[in-house]
Amino acid sequence: MLKTFIPPTAMSSEQKVHGLAKVAELKRQVMNAQSERNRVQDFFERLRQSRHRKWIYCLAEISSDRWNIRYEHLSDREKLSIKGAMREFRELVRDFPEDLT
């Protein structure tokens, strides 16, 4: 529900603190919603080399004729497979010996 606008100069310090806290909470909610919604898609958009995307698609057992398809155009089942493959790949890389890499 919208209330009548009160100019900041006419607000008490308590109202200003409450308003700033509310703005900070709303900003946090928006930022969390954006990051949760697009984290995997953002990852694929930031990949510098398409061969890395192909490695993940291959590990997710997506057929090679679909390796050039952008993440957002994949089916829900394929997206779930990719997330699982990324988890497996992360575990594998974590186990690489540091002195050899």
The reply to whether 23 falls in a domain is no
**Number of domains into which the chain is organized:** 1
Residue-wise pLDDT for 62-96, tens only, equals: 999 998 888 888 898 999 999 999 999 889 888 88
The reply to whether 3 falls in a domain is no
The reply to whether 7 falls in a domain is no
Global confidence as pTM: 0.56
The reply to whether 24 falls in a domain is no
Categorise residue 96: left if φ over 0, alpha if ψ from -120 to 50, beta otherwise. Answer: beta
Give residue 50's domain range: 30-96
The reply to whether 66 falls in a domain is yes
The reply to whether 87 falls in a domain is yes
Residues 89, 80: contact at Cβ < 8 Å? no
The reply to whether 10 falls in a domain is no
